[in-house]
Amino acid sequence: MPRQQAAGARRPARVHPDVEEVLVSRRALARRVAELGRQITADYAGRELLLVGILRGAAVFVADLARAIDLPLRLDFVSAASYGAGTESSGDVRVEQDLREPVAGRHLLLVDTVLDTGLTLHVLDATLGARGPASLRSVVLLRKHRGTPPLHTADYVGFTVPDRFVVGYGLDYAQRYRNLPYVGVLRPSIYQPMGGLTVTKSIG
């Protein structure tokens, strides 16, 4: 199994005021993505790879990862939503945008940012696996440390992080914070119910 790293990081000089704590710094992200790229290049040597980014969160990660892989590759995207309104998975995955590239006989690598319950990868693995790819594996930037095992595991993991609500490097809350260059914990006061009313905001 590929090596996994803990996500220790120093606090950068400039941190968004809505971020409580930085879990993975910009430098650590760049270093680990480069390592993942080298490992994937070695594992798929001599083969063409189809990278499948899971929108919208993985857009930043898949762009950096693609540049770190020294192989012939093609890039496609699938959109699958499992959060809906709030900060917890709804337990229901909806495939909202399918691939344009054919799958049969291809080497597919699903790229996601967070492995939480594993439900999204579980559904996409079954859906795409039924189309006859030569191989189907997955890479996630972050795996949340939870009390229960996920429904689906990833073949490559960048960092293991606490089970907290994180933003940055493509991850958002209400479509904000995706452009932060690090992964940080969002302050609970930003998304928790206020004054007895539930604040509902969508997560893409």
- Residue 39: band (very low, low, confident or very high) from pLDDT cuts 50, 70, 90: very high
Catalytic, out of 70, 92, 98, 116: 116
Residue 138 reports pLDDT greater than 70: yes
Q: Is residue 16 part of a domain?
A: no
Give how far the C-alpha of residue 103 lies from the chain's centroid of Cα atoms, to the nearest Å. 21
Residue 120 reports pLDDT greater than 70: yes
- Rounded Cα gap, residues 23 and 94, in angstroms: 29
Give the pLDDT mean for 5-34. 82
145-185: pLDDT as tens digits = 887 888 889 999 999 999 999 999 999 999 999 999 999 99
Q: What percentage of the chain exceeds 70 in pLDDT?
A: 82
Q: Is residue 195 part of a domain?
A: no
| Residue 146 and residue 153 in contact, taking contact as beta carbons nearer than 8 Å | no
The number of helix segments (H) and strand segments (E) in the chain equals: 4, 10
Residue 99 reports pLDDT greater than 60: yes
Give pLDDT, residue 194: 52
SS3 3: coil
CATH code of residue 141: 3.40.50.2020
Q: Is residue 12 part of a domain?
A: no
Exposure of 154 by Cβ count < 10 A (0-12 exposed, 13-18 middle, 19+ buried)? buried
Q: Is residue 17 part of a domain?
A: no
Buried b (16+ CB within 10 A) or exposed e, 23-62: bbbbebbeebbebbbebbeeebeeeebbbbbbbbbbbbbb
Asked about 116 being catalytic, the answer comes back as: yes
Give pLDDT, residue 195: 44
Count of structural domains within the chain: 1
Q: Is residue 129 part of a domain?
A: yes
- Rounded Cα gap, residues 2 and 157, in angstroms: 7
pTM of the predicted model, to two decimals? Answer: 0.82
- Residue 87: band (very low, low, confident or very high) from pLDDT cuts 50, 70, 90: very low
- Rounded Cα gap, residues 203 and 56, in angstroms: 9
Q: What average pLDDT does the chain have?
A: 85
Domain that holds residue 34: 26-164
Q: Is residue 82 part of a domain?
A: yes
Give pLDDT, residue 200: 34
Per-residue tokens: 109 = 């690598």
Give pLDDT, residue 5: 47
Q: Is residue 160 part of a domain?
A: yes
- Rounded Cα gap, residues 64 and 14, in angstroms: 22
Residue 201 reports pLDDT greater than 50: no
Residue 11 reports pLDDT greater than 70: no
Q: Is residue 189 part of a domain?
A: no
Residue 56 preceded by cis peptide, ω within 30: yes
- Residue 191: band (very low, low, confident or very high) from pLDDT cuts 50, 70, 90: confident
